[in-house]
Amino acid sequence: MKEFHFHRASSVADAVAAVKGASAGKFLAGGQSLLPVLKLEMAEPSDLVSISRIKELRGVCVDGNKLLIGAVTTHAEVAASSEVKKHIPGLAALAEHIGDAQVRNRGTIGGSVAHADPAADYPAALVALGATIKTDRRAIAAEDFFTGLFETALEPDELVVAVHFPIPEKSAYAKFASHASKYALCGVMVSKTGSDVRVAVTGAGQKVFRVPEMEKALAARFEPSALDGISISADDLLSDGQASAEYRAHLVTVMAKRAVAAA
Amino acid sequence: MTTESKSLIGAPIARKEDRRFLTGTGRYTDDLNRLHQTHAVFLRSPHAHAKIVSINTSAAAAAPGVVAVYTGADIAADKVGGIPCGWLVKNKDGSNMVEPPHPALVADVVRHVGDQVAVVIAETKAQAKAALNLIEVEYDVLPAAATVRDAVAEGAPLVWEQAPGNTCFDWHLGDLAAVEAAFAKAHKIVEIEVTNNRLIPNAMEPRAAIGEYDAAGDMLTLYTTSQNPHLIRLLLGAFVLGVPEHKLRVVAPDVGGGFGSKIFHYAEEAVVVWAARKIGRPVKWTAERSESFMSDAHGRDTVMTAKLAVDREGNFLGFRVHNTANMGAYLSTFATAVPTYLSGTLMAGVYKTPAVYVEVRAVFTHTVPVDAYRGAGRPEATYVIERIVDKAARELGMDRLEIRKKNFIRTFPYKTPVALEYDTGDYDATLAMALEKADVKNYPSRVEASKKRGKLRGIGYSTYLEACGIAPSALVGALGARAGLYEAANVRVHPTGSVSVFTGTHSHGQGHETTFAQLVAQQLGIPFDKVEVVHGDSDKIPFGMGTYGSRSLSVGGSAIVKAVDKIIAKGKKIAAHLLEAGEADIEFKDGKFVVAGTDKSKAFGEIAFAAYVPHNYPIDTVEPGLDESAFYDPKNFTYPAGTHVVEVEVDPDTGVVTVESVVAADDVGVIINPMIVDGQMHGGLAQGIGQALFEECVYDESGQLLTGSYMTYSMPRAADFPMFKVGNHVTACTHNPIGAKGVGEVGAIGVPPATINAVLDALAPLGVTDIQMPATPEKVWRAIVAAKGSKAQ
Ligand SMILES: Cc1cc2nc3c(=O)[nH]c(=O)nc-3n(C[C@H](O)[C@H](O)[C@H](O)COP(=O)(O)OP(=O)(O)OC[C@H]3O[C@@H](n4cnc5c(N)ncnc54)[C@H](O)[C@@H]3O)c2cc1C
């Protein structure tokens, strides 16, 4: 790991200013994705700006028909939150199965979405639930936020402040984890609010994506069997030693059915 | 040995060593810091096969904090010897195996990803790492052969010019003519091809080494993560550095797991000692985890084809195996013995197959050396045997247990067609115990319950045998071992009757400090906490061959027992004097020397005191002091055996296999501490199921290591397993004084085929007949899809 300057930010403005002012600054949240990258010397930031003690970034609250989760809220906090469990139980269950206990106690929702790992779980929830990402300067719809493999719409000095989730009628997440890493080889989140059904897939492709054919079938009949015979093409899916594209494509249908059954 | 009512033999005493391990006060190599110490990091090859065209270290040498930078040229200039191989295997024609050089730093051609090219030594590790990036190496990248199949292919890139076809040796054992005759009269010939997936040992503590030079005494010291410090001293001193033993001390302090990977002498150990002498300061190196993946010796990696000849009733007539074994790019310390003398000799298993023939072609590949890993050769033998036996039963329409029982060896001693002589065993007893513990009678109801949940259930068996307690020195010497395999012990009784036991074995998770203390306390009739066990320092221990091959209790423990026998014999002489009786009339019992038939006695402590304060003492005939050493050379291997039963559930939609039940009924000989034995079983079973379902080291066709971290190399976790049910049936080993056989490797040996047999049993209704380890979800799913496809046609 290369040497860097460390700052502990006291406010959103302080954090953004610190990253702006550095030659190659980066926000540090739980460090669960950033520290491995630094150890492997795949990134060499000049400055790390810790945001994890900024009070306004932490916590869960309900605002009308929306659930608001602050950026530095840990996965463990989301999993344990009575508000999340009450309003979007599928999201609490998702958080409960991220990595292992240590990762959940350190890793944050803001860090997860900003990192945009193609195998991360939250992106499926954000897209399926139609969430909005609030930053220090704007609001970005989830579908516009994830732009590619480890790529987002964020500017280098832009800070995720919170994620706003509309509360659905029902939703559930089904994950097929890599045995080695516990990341998703395929994770499917389904949500239903009236006739609006969404199916979002993470882990299988370069970035989270929706499956319109499944959404249509489920809008007509929200049951696992509605997905019988619907499969997605393996063409654009990830293929690696953990799982071939063909297997991932197969898992999308299996996991989608399981998510529908659980919703 | 006496086993009294409140015997310490068989007592589940909590491990002495756990207090320090659980409170973080163990002392591992990386915990040691020497005065004026420097830090070494190694530059490792990013290529599997490449010529080093040029190497420029000047920028690195000038970097802040750098003390020295060395390359292969410096090693060569100092005439540092190569890392030796400890076992010479002969070809079928009697000629020697190909034994290529293994330099401590490579000067000309790198032969695997991770091969060490240079070392940077600096004041801090961070400075050394920063300087490492400044070394410029120009490589001419060459094609590589990373897998067994690639290495034997026509026109494959050669790892060594002197090894055409990449063949290291072509060895065989058994009577080919007898096997051919058996096949000629067979009712059926069952065939199978199995791979033993390559494994990365992943000890919790990464390897580390500190070299130190004391100019005043011209003494070298190596602190290292080793399972056998004396063997390292021998290899490093005699072969690599040319330093005599009395000038070289090797210390292996607490070691955090080895599983075989810390038996071997590694290049880094040689480099830190050599460099310490050159710079006149201690040099410390600790592997990072990613270095461990690419530089620790790997395990297994064999491809076997086998044929079993059976008659109509299911009697085995002949068995024939061809094994292609991956050696990696260089020959590690025991690499050549693993597929041959530790595997080929096991091919009879527990069965009375009259004719067995095994051939091994060992091949070089552009990968990390492969060597012994928990089980070392015996898991590979067990796997092919127990898979083909299941297959034979299915092809003959016989019950899988009936065919096993029909062929069990039941008379002992039993001489196998592949060179071993089993002294004792009772395979029916462990089988019966396993079936009982596995509740096999109610298995059908569990199948139904699984079916209701949409799952396929399977049960698998393995009735395994292994040979451990290695090994009779004359025998292994005749077979090519370049060392003896006895063990040494020194038992030092202190003046007030407490005891220090110095053993040549090494404990790195096995609990020797507890087990050996129980053994000695029992034999001397003194309290357990009066005995301290010391290991791991060549300056303290008379000699030792270390810990591997489940040898520590049966061989090392036997040496201790013999040393204690000498203590007791001397004690009798002293007691006879003090009690004014004839030596022949003195009995030693319950910690007392007693004049037979009287109540006259002297406690052990009194005799010890007399020996060190010899005022009233038979000084003309008996030396003062009570301190005895013994060396024990085993007469035979020991032969643990047993039955493992695994039940799995397969999710047909995803191919995920979940382990529902694991039962092990083992005969590991006489048990000193059953809690430690259970612990060894639990770890071994987890590792064995890890091999069967999760773990696999994968290189791509260019020789890049694809599974170089825990993101892609899948380790078994506690949550993957149900509670293990383990039990023991003891037949005592007939040829060592303890009756112990060995338990360290049994779990990893017996359970992989039971697991795969269970998976295949679950998939049998779908028509799946084969699956290779590890049975990952995708592999199982593909097998199901393929079977459905072929059924549909
Ligand atoms: C062993 C292991 C297993 C894991 N398994 C899973 C899994 O199963 N599923 C899963 O989804 N994830 C998994 N993760 C990743 C984990 O969820 C991380 O916590 C998450 O990806 C990053 O969150 P963090 O708070 O640790 O961010 P950090 O590592 O601190 O930061 C990650 C990146 O995001 C940036 N960043 C952080 N916060 C913000 C912010 N508020 N605004 C803008 N940029 C920001 C940082 O600059 C950095 O580039 C795993 C991680 C590990 C180590």
Domain containing A19 — which CATH number?
3.30.43.10
Mean pLDDT of A138-152: 97
The whole domain housing A19 covers 5-50
Q: Please, what's the b/e burial string for B176-205 (b: 16 or more CB within 10 A of its CB; e: otherwise)?
A: eebbeebbeebeebbebebbbbbbbbbbeb
Instruction: Give the distance (Å) from ligand 1 centre to CA of residue A245.
Output: 25
Give B363's DSSP letter: E
CATH code assigned to B378-466+638-792:
3.30.365.10
Instruction: Give the distance (Å) from ligand 1 centre to CA of residue A74.
Output: 10
Query: Residue B2: which pLDDT band, with cuts at 50, 70 and 90?
Result: very low
- Domains of chain B by residue range: 32-142+204-257+262-295, 378-466+638-792, 486-632
Question: CB-based contact (8 Å) between B782 and chain A?
Answer: yes
pLDDT, residue B1, reads: 46
In three-state form (DSSP H/G/I as H, E/B as E, the rest C), the secondary structure along B105-157 is CCCCEECCCCCEEEEEEECCHHHHHHHHCCCEEEEEECCCCCCHHHHHCCCCC
- Taking only the tens place, the pLDDT of each residue in B101-156 is 999 999 999 999 999 999 999 999 999 999 999 999 999 999 999 999 999 999 99
pLDDT, residue A245, reads: 98
User: Percentage of residues in chain A with pLDDT exceeding 70?
Assistant: 100
Mean pLDDT of B390-396: 98
Q: In chain A, which residue's Cα lies nearest the Cα of B129?
A: A1
Query: Residue B792: which pLDDT band, with cuts at 50, 70 and 90?
Result: low
pLDDT, residue B4, reads: 47
**CA–CA separation, B257 and B62 (whole Å):** 38
**CA–CA separation, B118 and B516 (whole Å):** 42
Mean pLDDT of A45-54: 97
Of A183, A241, A250, the CB nearest to B707: A241
Flag whether pLDDT at B14 surpasses 80. yes
Instruction: Give the distance (Å) from ligand 1 centre to CA of residue A51.
Output: 13
Question: Best mutation site among B147, B711, B713, B782 for testing chain A: the one with the most A CBs within 10 Å?
Answer: B711
Domain membership flag for residue A236? yes
CATH code assigned to B32-142+204-257+262-295:
3.90.1170.50
Burial of B745 (0-12, 13-18, 19+ CB in 10 A): buried
**CA–CA separation, A132 and A139 (whole Å):** 6
Burial of A20 (0-12, 13-18, 19+ CB in 10 A): exposed
- List, as one string, the DSSP characters of B246-291: GGEEEE--B----TTTTTS--HHHHHHHHHHHHHTS-EEEE--HHH
State which fold the B486-632 domain adopts.
Aldehyde Oxidoreductase; domain 4 (3.30.365)
CB atoms within 10 A of CB B148: 24
CATH for A224: 3.30.390.50
Domain membership flag for residue A199? yes
- Taking only the tens place, the pLDDT of each residue in B619-628 is 999 999 999 9
Asked which of A17, A35, A50 is the last residue of a domain, the reply is: A50
**CA–CA separation, A23 and A34 (whole Å):** 18
- Is any ligand 1 atom within 6 A of the Cβ of residue A71? yes
Ligand 1, residue B710: give the atom nearest the CA.
1
**CA–CA separation, B151 and B166 (whole Å):** 6
What is the β-pairing status of strands B50-56 and A209-210? unpaired
Mean pLDDT of B493-522: 97
* Same fold yes or no, B378-466+638-792 and B486-632: yes
Flag whether pLDDT at B3 surpasses 50. no
Burial of B603 (0-12, 13-18, 19+ CB in 10 A): middle
Number of folded domains that form chain A: 2
- Taking only the tens place, the pLDDT of each residue in B547-574 is 999 999 999 999 999 999 999 999 999 9
Q: Which residues of A touch B706 (CB under 8 A)?
A: 241
Domain membership flag for residue A106? no
Query: Residue B793: which pLDDT band, with cuts at 50, 70 and 90?
Result: low
Contact: B712, A180; criterion CB under 8 Å: yes
**Per the omega criterion (within 30 degrees of 0), is the bond before A45 cis?**
no
Residue B296 phi/psi, 5° resolution? -70, 145
Domain membership flag for residue A243? yes
Closest CA to A80 of A89, A70, A68: A89
- Is any ligand 1 atom within 6 A of the Cβ of residue A214? no
**CA–CA separation, B44 and B296 (whole Å):** 13
* ipTM confidence score: 0.96
- Taking only the tens place, the pLDDT of each residue in A187-216 is 999 999 999 999 999 999 999 999 999 999
- Taking only the tens place, the pLDDT of each residue in B694-749 is 999 999 999 999 999 999 999 999 999 999 999 999 999 999 999 999 999 999 99
**pTM greater than the 0.95 cutoff:** yes
Per the CB < 8 A criterion, the answer to whether B44 and B296 are in contact is no
Which residues does B435 contact at the CB level (< 8 Å), separation at least 6? B401, B643, B645
Domain membership flag for residue A160? no
Identity of the amino acid at B245: E
Q: What is the mean pLDDT of chain B?
A: 97
Ligand 1, residue A32: give the atom nearest the CA.
26
Contact: B706, A250; criterion CB under 8 Å: no
Q: In chain B, which residue's Cα lies nearest the Cα of A99?
A: B711
Instruction: Give the distance (Å) from ligand 1 centre to CA of residue A66.
Output: 24
